[in-house]
């Protein structure tokens, strides 16, 4: 079955780059997702990447995909204190009717 793994914590200083890593198991996943959860709130879609892409850039966000190693990463450039949140990697499950999420990486940004 599907499984998604990611490290639990990352601490960076404001202005640095943050890199959050994720590994997934289902090689047939067509899309892979990054969601962000701010304190006390639900999850919101941050970005996604199609499985035939190696990289996707969206303003300060860069997603890298290595299909061979089933490895996904999210890079946040010029990290701000407002980026402090939990970041979840996710892949489709149940034939795309739901998502399987990793345990989430808590990003802490200090000024």
Partner 1 sequence: NAGVTQTPKFQVLKTGQSMTLQCAQDMNHEYMSWYRQDPGMGLRLIHYSVGAGITDQGEVPNGYNVSRSTTEDFPLRLLSAAPSQTSVYFCASSYSRLTNTGELFFGEGSRLTVL
As a whole number of angstroms, the distance between CA 73 and CA 43 comes to 18
Rounded CA separation 68/37 (Å):
29
Element (DSSP H or E) covering residue 63: strand 61-66
The alpha-helical segments, DSSP class H, found in the chain are none
34 is a site residue for partner 1 (CB under 8 A): no
Nearer to partner 1, 39 or 82 (CB): 39
Backbone angles phi, psi at 58, to 5 degrees: -145, 95
Of 39, 41, 52, 82, the residue at the interface with partner 1 (CB under 8 A) is 41
The CA-based dihedral angle spanning residues 45, 77, 20, 83, taken in that order and rounded to the nearest 10 degrees: -60
Rule CB under 8 A: choose which of 43, 65, 107, 109 binds partner 1.
Answer: 43
For the CB of residue 12, give the shortest distance to partner 1 in the complex, in Å: 21
Give the interface size with partner 1 as a residue count (CB under 8 A).
28
Stretch that binds partner 1, among 11-19, 55-63, 70-78, 96-104 (CB under 8 A): 96-104
Residue that has been written with the tokens 């795309």 in this structure: 96
- Per CB under 8 A, 103 contacts partner 1: yes
The residues that touch partner 1, with contacts defined as CB under 8 A, are: 8, 29-31, 33, 35, 40-45, 48, 50, 88, 92-104
């Amino acid at each position: 079955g599907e499984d998604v793994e990611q490290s639990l914590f990352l601490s960076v200083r404001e202005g640095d780059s943050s890199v959050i890593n994720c590994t997934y198991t289902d090689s047939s996943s067509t899309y892979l997702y990054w969601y962000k959860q701010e304190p006390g709130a639900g999850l919101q879609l941050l970005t996604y990447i199609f499985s035939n892409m190696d990289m996707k850039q969206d303003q300060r966000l860069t997603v890298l995909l290595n299909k061979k190693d089933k490895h996904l990463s999210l890079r946040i450039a010029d990290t701000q204190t407002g980026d402090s949140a939990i970041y979840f990697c996710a892949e489709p499950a149940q034939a795309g009717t739901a998502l399987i999420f990793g345990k989430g990486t808590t990003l802490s940004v200090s000024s």
